[in-house]
Structure 1
Amino acid sequence: MEKVLALVEARLRSALGEPDARASVTFLGTDRVEVLRFTDTENGDGRPVVRYATLGMSARPMADPTDLVADPVRGPRAELLLTVRAGLADTDKVLRPLAVLAASPQVEGVVVAPGASLDVGEPLWPGAPFTSVLVGEPGGLVPDLELDGGMDPVRFLPLLPMTPNEAAWKRVHGAQALEERWLGSETDLRDPRRASVRLD
């Protein structure tokens, strides 16, 4: 477990640079989850972004809740990534909600995969218009991390904040349809204060 997390942290550092802050959260009956913060000012448009990455979710493979016995080696592994514009909201308060989402495979037996909705039941940070996220496709910002010993690779899954209206619309129409709406409206998904995309 520790070896996997060391490799994951090394991959995060190679892709995102040195973290400028980190926090750890432990929930009863679960392994510790850390959240690392990376500030990026070299993104090409002059507006800095803050990236939050979980570290700890990939220590164990995610298991289908219908499986009678969880396989300790095989099964999907992942960490979560959230990117927001810096300085527009108190987004550092997202650390605990992110840790809650990262612990959900252990706590609730869910398998987090692209296209899924994850809801924390409260604003992601103070004043945030979002209480849930859409899990995006991996392989963009941080490449998958291959592991030895028959273990599945660690995938780094981007999280896209959703307003309650967007989350309700996505439940009916699906993740792809919502992403197409965002794309068609040129929605800045990194804006921590953005309004819901037009859904009529």
Structure 2
Amino acid sequence: MSSSSGSVADRVVAHVSTVVGSTPQRASVTFLGVEPIDVLRFVDGDEVVFATVGCARHPMHDPSDFAPDPVRGPRAEVTLTMRATMPLQGLHKSLAMLAAAPAVEGLILEADSLIDLQEPLWAGAICSAFLLTADSRIADLPLDDPADPVRFLRAVPITANEAAWVRLKGADELRAAWTEAGTDVTDPARTAVTPK
């Protein structure tokens, strides 16, 4: 396999489509000075599954690394699953901003990362940030040596108060509060939890 961006992107699309089992709609979002990020949208029963394509074109590196390896290093794409109970206008743009963060801001996306966009993630949303976790549904996508595999991270929309709690107490405490409250994080109309 060539390590070109096209081949990595094509592999990501095929990999996610195989797992979800349907044909996606596709939207492309561009940011100044960054290669386009595509967002796939699958309808899977009563759920909508989103997946980014483009974050994994290049490995993620700390911006203080002045000679980053162009092939080796962690690669990731982001997925998000929501119940299909309302329009989620603008959510694909928020996901594209998240996926572009490694190229734009030098962030390394990994499990328990908190990405705060400080604006509603979709029209009318109470959530303004994403909390990342490993996506147990989608396995890592191997690439040819020496490139690292593409990991798939699940983004969970969270509110500003929940984001503050993650900063204070950690992601596991927020997840425990969701469990205790019986919160369905895939419900776009859910209310915020207030951890104790």
TM-score range, shorter chain: over 0.9
Tell me, in whole angstroms, the C-alpha distance in 2 between the residues paired with 1:186 and 1:71: 44
Where structure 2 has 5 or more consecutive residues not aligned to the other structure, the ranges are none
Alignment of structure 1 residues 42-53 onto 2, 5 Å: 48-53=46-51
Aligned residue identity for 2:39: V
1:16 corresponds in structure 2 to 20
C-alpha displacement at 1:128, in angstroms?
A: 0.3
C-alpha displacement at 1:19, in angstroms?
A: 3.2
1:109 corresponds in structure 2 to 106
1:116-152 superposed Cα distances (whole Å, 9 cap, x missing partner): 10112210111101000100123x1211101112111
Kindly indicate whether the alpha-carbon contact (under 8 Å) linking 2:89 and 2:123 is maintained by their aligned counterparts in 1. Answer: no
Q: Confirm or deny that 1:55 pairs with 2:53.
A: yes
Taking structure 2 as the reference length, what is the TM-score of the superposition?
A: 0.94
Kindly indicate whether the alpha-carbon contact (under 8 Å) linking 1:56 and 1:79 is maintained by their aligned counterparts in 2. Answer: yes
Aligned residue identity for 1:65: P
Tell me, in whole angstroms, the C-alpha distance in 2 between the residues paired with 1:116 and 1:151: 23
Identity of aligned residues (%): 44
C-alpha displacement at 1:198, in angstroms?
A: 2.9
Kindly indicate whether the alpha-carbon contact (under 8 Å) linking 1:121 and 1:132 is maintained by their aligned counterparts in 2. Answer: yes
Taking structure 1 as the reference length, what is the TM-score of the superposition?
A: 0.92
1:45-74 superposed Cα distances (whole Å, 9 cap, x missing partner): xxx010110001100000112211121101
C-alpha displacement at 1:33, in angstroms?
A: 0.5
Tell me, in whole angstroms, the C-alpha distance in 1 between the residues paired with 2:181 and 2:194: 8
2:64 corresponds in structure 1 to 66
C-alpha displacement at 1:184, in angstroms?
A: 2.0
Alignment of structure 1 residues 1-200 onto 2, 5 Å: 1-41=5-45, 48-88=46-86, 90-138=87-135, 140-200=136-196
Aligned residue identity for 1:25: V
- Partner secondary structure for residue 182 of structure 1: helix
C-alpha displacement at 1:93, in angstroms?
A: 1.8
Report which of the two has the higher share of strand. Answer: 2
Tell me, in whole angstroms, the C-alpha distance in 1 between the residues paired with 2:115 and 2:155: 9
1:29-53 superposed Cα distances (whole Å, 9 cap, x missing partner): 1111100000111xxxxxx010110
1:68-93 superposed Cα distances (whole Å, 9 cap, x missing partner): 112110111010111111033x2142
Kindly indicate whether the alpha-carbon contact (under 8 Å) linking 2:113 and 2:131 is maintained by their aligned counterparts in 1. Answer: yes
Kindly indicate whether the alpha-carbon contact (under 8 Å) linking 1:19 and 1:36 is maintained by their aligned counterparts in 2. Answer: no
Where structure 1 has 5 or more consecutive residues not aligned to the other structure, the ranges are 42-47
Aligned residue identity for 1:125: W
Tell me, in whole angstroms, the C-alpha distance in 2 between the residues paired with 1:3 and 1:135: 25
1:45 corresponds in structure 2 to none
